[in-house]
Structure 1
Amino acid sequence: METNKLRILILFIISSFSLINCQNKKMEDKYSWLGTISAPKEYPMEIYKGAIIADDFTYGFDAIWGTQNTGWGNEGGTMSVETSQMDIPSKLEFTWYSLVENKFYTGKWDLDKEKIKNLFAKGFIDQDNGKKTTYSNFIVGLAPKGRVVLWINGPGNQKEVGFFQAHDTLITEEKAYGNAKYMLKEGFADRMLKDPSYETFKPEIRAKIEKEGYPDPGIYDLYREKYTWKPSVVLPEGSEWIDFGFNNYNGEQENLFGESLKEDTCKKRAVPKFCGFYWRDKNKNRYGVWIDSFEEKEIFELFRKLGKEENIDLTIKVNADNTGAVVSLKSGKEELPVTKAKIRLSRKIE
């Protein structure tokens, strides 16, 4: 009889520990996150409805978000919520109106929950305070032809966690819910696209569209192609490379410093769109170098020439007083100069 009591006690203790561990694990798996929208500057999208869905929380979108075209991969605004800790989302659904195409798209997709959970758990070090942090925003990217990308975003870091295809759908003014009926009014898309008073486009984007037309919708697939590359900085003797931050055409971004900079090797990455870094000379004077933009046709052509099978160094060679820099792509076979990038260099930073 005593033996049975002992067994029951042991089982109770084991069960209690298991329950506590499960509860702790469940709490550890919850994170604080919000959602926002991204769309190309040349392709404004009107939000109809959508949701990022977790088991215990749904972050919703509707017509109150209005017209979105902050730029591909760029985050827009967010809506505050009362919930502070949420499960990792498992589903995405979205319906939107593509003004240029004059067409509605819709779709529902399962998310790679394990991939997202692992990225949230791993997190990264925030360079500003040296502490571990993690991602805090989901960005839903809406592109022409019904392409959808989902990124997660945190300070200096952004990663693609999903790529989906929506299908077109028909929504009439009679069928639309009240707050969304405006986008079905006759001539709405034309007014938004062609009337400068609506300020749908920034003046430079409008001028570019008038000169070159809208970008090929296939460009958003091209942006996702990856090459094996890493940044490489050549500095005057005795200098110290401090960090390197960069955004890629596919919307991803990285911030390398400290150990992550030392340990960085060639990885599968999309073509860089812009980048910047700080360095110190032998006298501990600090300087900044920024490539505010690569010329799109040139940088893609140079990466294509070197090819996806090669390890590539994006090399930036800086002169002694930080008044000039030479940029190139370098593989084991050849080195190709980058001649059309817009480079900005600082004076000595106190």
Structure 2
Amino acid sequence: MGINKLKILVLFIFYSFSLVSCQNKKMEEKYNWSGTISAPQEYPMEIYSGGIIANDFTYPFDAIWGTQNTGWGNEGSKMNVATKKMEIPHQLEFTWYSLVEEKFYTGKWNLDKIKIEQLFKEGFIDTDTGKKQTYTTFKIGLAPKGKIVLWINAPGVQKEIGSFQAHDTIITKAQAYENAQYMFENDYAKERLKSDFLMTSEVKNRLSTSGYPDPSIYENFRKKYSWKPVVELPSGFKIKKIFFMACNGEYDTYAENQNKKAIPYYLSIVISDVAGKELGANLFFTKDEKYYEENVLKGNNVLPTDFDLTDMYKTFTSFSQTEPVDIIIKVNPENKSADVSLKQKENSIQLKNFISKIY
């Protein structure tokens, strides 16, 4: 009789734990999210296979995604999925072909699910509407030398949530699946890079005059500094909002309490005059005079292909990462001009490589 009671007690405890476990699984929050790919304009990447993996869903990638080079941090193609809400992913796996290097890279990495879930739950406040929003897209950044970055994205905000190292691998035509056979045609990479539709005139100009950026530049772009914008305006004018896009692929509305940030290549300052009329002052840090017409006017605030050659980038990288940096911006709304300088301690450098648009 004592043994039977013990068995009943053990079974009761077992089923209790099972019930709690099932309830916890049911209670795991789900979100609407999708995936996309980013790659530098000057280093096109061919997609072979991959997936953003959650317990209840895998967002897949294969050769149908083709060549991706929309710009570092920029969004590539997107595929619709039937599943409306999914758990937070816990793993990323990816294999791709770097056309310039003519190498395949592959890897599988565990994601910080707790950190990602916290970011999704906390969300952010949309500065235009004042409403709470959350993230909607996982963006995979493919860089040379097998570097891979993962961002989470929503309109107006993008944050890095992981950086990984893939290893090179060999895939033969005999091993490749049917839809990827085209990658193994003779001189496929060389011929693809010659395509007039693959690279813009801006990219071609960069490559012909200065060559390819150092493959490690995308890792260097991840370095962060304690910078803040210091905007000098005429009397009666006020700052309403500052938005930035950084060379590491992150972008957000500037706030005083933010942590260190990567070097910005774009600053958008919304100001108001004495009568309350809003004006915009946009700064694009590039040497390319055609950048605004060829990119921004087409709705594409992409990282300039010459950003690593600008005095903005070179000056920042000559500064200490531990000391604060002021980006001093003098805006003259009347003649629609702006001056920009960088200052760290007593060291002040006037910048020349930028385009200003005030409207």
The one-letter amino acid paired with 2:217 is I
Q: CA deviation at 1:77?
A: 1.8
Residue 335 (structure 1) aligns with: 348
State the identity as a percent: 48
1:47–1:175 CA distance, 2 compared to 1 (3 A): same
> How do 1:124-163 and structure 2 match up within 5 A?
124-163=124-163
In 1, the alpha carbon distance for the partners of 2:259 and 2:222 equals 14
Residues 229, 266 of structure 1: 8 Å contact kept: no
Structure 2 vs 1, CA of residues 97 and 223 (structure 1 numbering), >3 Å: closer, same or farther?
A: same
Amino acid in structure 2 at the alignment position of 1:267: N
Separation in 1, partners of 2:101, 2:350: 38
Local SS of the residue matching 1:85: coil
The Cα of 1:145 is off from its aligned counterpart by 0.6
1:300 has 2:298 as partner: no
Distance in 2 separating the partners of 1:19 and 1:49: 34
Q: Give the drift of 1:266.
A: 6.3
- Cα distance, 1:336 vs structure 2: 2.0
Distance 2:156 2:178 in 1: 39
What does 1:1-350 align with in structure 2 at a 5 Å threshold?
A: 22=24, 25-26=27-28, 29-196=29-196, 199-256=197-254, 261=255, 264-265=256-257, 267-295=259-287, 296=307, 297=309, 298-321=311-334, 323-346=336-359
DSSP 3-state at the match of 1:141: strand
> What's the counterpart of residue 302 of structure 2?
none
The residue identity in structure 1 corresponding to 2:263 is V
Q: Contact (CA 8 Å) 2:285, 2:312: kept in 1 or not?
A: no
Q: Which amino acid aligns with 1:121?
A: K
**What SS does the aligned partner of 2:82 have?**
coil
> What one-letter code is carried by the residue in structure 2 that aligns with 1:226?
K
Range moving further from structure 2, 163-172 or 300-309: 300-309
1:158 maps to amino acid: Q
Distance in 1, Cα, partners of 2:222 & 2:82: 35
Kindly indicate whether the alpha-carbon contact (under 8 Å) linking 1:243 and 1:277 is maintained by their aligned counterparts in 2: yes
CA–CA separation in structure 2 for the residues paired with 1:306 and 1:170: 41
Mapped partners of 1:137, 1:101: distance in 2: 28
Aligned partners of 1:247 and 1:274 also within 8 Å: yes
Three-state SS of the structure 1 residue aligned to 2:260 is strand
CA deviation after TM superposition for structure 1 residue 236, in Å? 1.6
Aligned residue-pair number: 323
- What one-letter code is carried by the residue in structure 1 that aligns with 2:266? F
Following the alignment from structure 1 to structure 2, what is the Cα–Cα distance between the partners of residues 160 and 247? 13
- In the alignment, is the contact (CA less than 8 A) between 1:139 and 1:152 conserved in 2? yes
Structure 2: segments with no counterpart, 5+ residues: 1-16, 288-306
Quick one: distance in 2 between partners of 1:23 and 1:90? Answer: 15
What SS does structure 2 have at the residue aligned with 1:242?
strand
1:324 to partner: Cα distance: 1.4
What per-residue deviation string (whole Å, max 9, x for no partner) do you get for residues 194-236 of structure 1?
Answer: 243xx11112212321222211101111101111112222222
**Distance of 2:124 and 2:137 partners within structure 1:** 14
Q: 1:244 to 1:184 in 2, by over 3 A?
A: same
Q: 2:336·2:357 contact (CA, 8 Å) conserved in 1?
A: no
CA contact (8 A) 2:234 2:332 kept: yes
Q: Do 1:229 and 1:267's aligned partners in 2 also have CA atoms closer than 8 Å?
A: no
Question: CA 1:45/1:126 → structure 2, altered by over 3 Å: closer, same or farther?
Answer: same
CA distance 1:58–1:19, change in 2 (3 Å): closer
Deviation per residue, 1:151-182 (Å, 9 max, x gap)? 01111110111101111111111110000000
Unaligned runs of 5+ in 1: 1-14
Matching residue's letter, 2:58? T
